Amino acid sequence: MVKNSKVLAESGKAPILESGHTFGSVTDKISSFVLTHRTPRGWYIGFGIGFIGVMLLGQTLANLLLQGTGIWGVTNPVGWGFDIINFVWWIGIGHAGTLISAILLLLRQEWRTSINRFAEAMTLFAVACAAMYPLFHTGRPWLAFYWLFPYPNTMGIWPQFRSPLMWDVFAVSTYGIVSLLFWFVGLIPDLATLRDRTQKRVPRFIFGMLAMGWRGSARHWNRYETAYLLLAGLSTPLVLSVHTIVSLDFAVAVIPGWHATIFPPYFVAGAIFAGFAMVLILAIPIRRFYRLEDFITMRHLENMAKIILVTGLIVSYGYMMEVFFGWYSANPYEDFMIQNRMRGPYSSIYWLLIGCNVLAPQVFWLKSMRTSIPALFIVSVIVSFGMWFERFIIVVTSLHRDFLPSSWGMYYPTKWDFGMFFGTIGLFVALLFLFLRFLPMISIFEMRTILPQAEIKEAE
């Protein structure tokens, strides 16, 4: 693997780690963000902004539980509004983290090493935000357990396992647990490093307990690597299954625009597309603020731009096929659905979606755009908006005008819908800042393995 990075450096590509680093310098640099006594002022500002969102979320949820889901804009015929749009948007963002940590590991993409830890953290926080929506959409979450989780209850009833919504419960909870395990297993050796490097008693105790006595024994590493690879192998089909099952929530229904076999691959590609955009939105400021240009190099940013371009083309193909199916199916409802998307009351959002997701990523064909930090950041923000519009279009336009014109209606979100949306963004930001301050944001032990010094010289 070391040879590999050398070859790439010679071929004129940017390196995945700038030269001049040693085992010690990599360890000290990354652990210093956690072990420093001085919290940077920028951290307080960032966390503060996130915390305002957490307060907003608390108020929204309190009001929601007191008054019920009537405070949202959902009603007949649009029973799935912001709650499902935001659920799908958040869960999609999470997918990039698992893709980086599992699929790129199996494909031996060395460059993933410096971004996998915070991408995995992003996954966990995005799943936490996502899971909140369906849970509160049940109206009374404390009563929802008996039909969401199979446990022997006094009523003697069981959940309906034939429903895609039940599949979703299992997919999202499994995904959350496995992502947490993967993240934690990756953290164990780094927690041991922090335990050994901190000077203070309380942090040493906490890191020591979390590291569980990890001592870097060769016998342990042997099993550790096996477990890590197996987890990567298990996470790969899992991550594909999660958005597949989310798409089945729609595709199993008979609603025009939802009942399509293209949904699973189209949703998975969209998830990776949105997720990598979010990784870039996070990586660019973190890299600058913490001066991580040596570790997160232009090569990482450019590779992510390429993935955005590829997955953007796949979702564009999905949009094309939706139009094609509308015509080729010769089904008047399907045809009307697509006409309504393009020319109906929500057409401005449809065209925004096309502009954001189809046109904007095309600039990444140019190397100058893939290596320009402002361009990467702006396109990533545009793509994040675009993917949100996509979910809005899928959820709302299909529901608001289906088979019977007498039951048509319009959906308008209320301030509480926005309150919960901005609230979960705040929660995501706040959790991310806590993570940056208290845990190593880059995997230290994996960074050591890509150093040239890690190469074992042949015995003479």
**Would you count residue 150 as binding another protein (CB under 8 A)?**
yes
Smallest distance, another protein to C-beta of residue 67, A? 33
- Which of 52, 144, 234, 284 is in the footprint of another protein by CB under 8 A? 234
The Cα 239–Cα 103 span in angstroms is 10
**Would you count residue 166 as binding another protein (CB under 8 A)?**
yes
User: Restricting to residues 315-344, which ones interact with another protein according to CB under 8 A?
Assistant: none
- What SS3 state is found at 83? helix
- Which of 15, 79, 159, 203 is in the footprint of another protein by CB under 8 A? 159
The Cα 135–Cα 166 span in angstroms is 12
Q: Take residue 99 and report the two structure tokens written for it.
A: 């893709």
Smallest distance, another protein to C-beta of residue 199, A? 11
The Cα 263–Cα 116 span in angstroms is 28
User: Restricting to residues 52-71, which ones interact with another protein according to CB under 8 A?
Assistant: none
- Which of 213, 285, 345, 409 is in the footprint of another protein by CB under 8 A? 213
**Would you count residue 297 as binding another protein (CB under 8 A)?**
no
Smallest distance, another protein to C-beta of residue 128, A? 18
Rounded to 5 degrees, what angle do the CA atoms 273, 274, 277 make? 90
Closest CA to 415 of 140, 82, 67, 77: 82
**Would you count residue 146 as binding another protein (CB under 8 A)?**
no
How far is Cα of residue 88 from the mean position of the Cα atoms in its chain? Answer: 10
431 CB-side CA count, 13 A:
18
For 72, 334, 421, 433, the CA distances from 415, given in Å and listed in that order, are 8, 32, 10, 26
- Which of 6, 140, 200, 223 is in the footprint of another protein by CB under 8 A? 223
Smallest distance, another protein to C-beta of residue 240, A? 11
**Would you count residue 290 as binding another protein (CB under 8 A)?**
no
Size of the site for another protein (CB under 8 A): 67
Closest CA to 287 of 372, 373, 381, 170: 373
Residues at the contact surface with another protein, assessed by CB under 8 A: 22-24, 27-28, 150, 156-162, 164, 166-167, 170-171, 174, 177-178, 181-182, 184-185, 189, 192-193, 195-197, 208-209, 212-227, 230-231, 234-235, 237-238, 241, 245, 248, 445-446, 448-449, 453-454, 456-457, 459
